[in-house]
Structure 1
Amino acid sequence: MLLPWQEIDPETLDNLIESFVLREGTDYGEQERSLSAKVADVKRQLQSGEAVLVWSELHETVNIMPRGQFRG
């Protein structure tokens, strides 16, 4: 189920994004990026619609994924 990011408390949204960024362990190549820069990137992707917040009833978790990968 999609969760509208606009309806999430801003502090909670920041915490969700930070948790997502920390668990992804993405390699950014030679130039490492700061946590705040990574969080800002994900927030921009949510705002532009490139990424979505997804609630899993089965696992009772929230995840962030590219819109094209969400199969609702």
Structure 2
Amino acid sequence: MIIPYQELSKEALINLIEQFILREGTDYGENEVNNDTKIEQVLGQIKRGEAVIVYSELHEEVNIMSAQQFKQMQTEEGDYHIDRDEF
């Protein structure tokens, strides 16, 4: 199930993004990017709909993933629920 970012408090959203950044270990190329910049980049992706916040009932966890990855997972696994009107 997709959780609209607007339903989270600012603190909860930032904490979720920070956990995602630390867990993913994203490669930003030759130049190191500080955490504040990474947070802003992920937040921008969420606001533009390029990334979504997803709750998995099966795994009982919240995660951030690309919208495309979510759609593909939806098709392949049927693990997550999505309202097709959200996209």
TM-score interval, normalised by the smaller of the two chains: over 0.9
What letter corresponds to residue 7 of structure 1 in structure 2? Answer: E
Q: How many residues align?
A: 72
2:84 aligned partner: none
Structure 2 residue runs of 5 or longer lacking an equivalent are 75-80, 82-87
Q: Select the structure with the greater relative contact order (CA < 8 A; seq sep ≥ 6).
A: 1
Query: Match for residue 20 of structure 1?
Result: 20
User: For residues 47 and 36 of structure 2, what CA distance do their matches in structure 1 show?
Assistant: 16
What is the TM-score of this pair, normalised by structure 1?
0.94
CA RMSD of aligned residues (A): 0.8
Structure index of larger Rg = 2
More strand per residue: 1
Q: What is the alpha-carbon distance in structure 2 between the residues aligned to residue 41 and residue 52 of structure 1? A: 13
Shift of 1:60: 1.1
**Where do 5+ consecutive residues of structure 1 fail to align?**
none
Between Structure 1 and Structure 2, which shows a larger proportion of helix residues?
2
Q: How does 1:1-72 map to 2 (within 5 A)?
A: 1-70=1-70, 71=74, 72=81
Deviation string 1:18-37 (CA, Å, 9 cap, x unpaired) is 00001101121210100110
- For normalisation by structure 2, the TM-score amounts to 0.79
**TM-superposition CA deviations, 1:23-65 (whole Å, max 9, x none):** 1011212101001100100000011111100001111111111
